Amino acid sequence: MIPVTRLNGKELLLNPDLVQWVEETPDTIVTLVTSEKLVVREPMAELARLVLAYRAAVGGAAAGLRAWREGVGSA
């Protein structure tokens, strides 16, 4: 999950796997695969950075789990 801030200042956690696209008009609008739209304070470039960091963390965790399982299996 990535933290985002609505225009009213309320923070929420967004599941990046549900993001269909992001646009700036000039507000940043996040469209989800459910067609729901969220208007957030973070600029589009910041959201892209957060999503990439999230995916790297998830991928790294999965790789670590695989390595741990392989280590346990060989013990």
Contact 4, 19 (CB under 8 A): no
Joined tokens for residue 28: 């940043």
The answer to whether position 45 is within a domain reads yes
Alpha carbon separation from 33 to 3, 36, 57, 62, 67 (Å, rounded): 18, 7, 22, 24, 33
Residue 75 lies in a domain: no
Residue 74: inside a domain:
no
Q: How many domains does the chain have?
A: 1
**How does residue 74 score in pLDDT terms, banded at 50, 70 and 90?**
low
- Residue 20 pLDDT exceeds 80: yes
Asked whether residue 6 is domain-assigned, the answer is yes
Residue 22 lies in a domain: yes
In tens, the pLDDT along 61-72 reads: 666 667 667 776
Domain extent for 57 = 2-69
Average pLDDT along the chain: 89
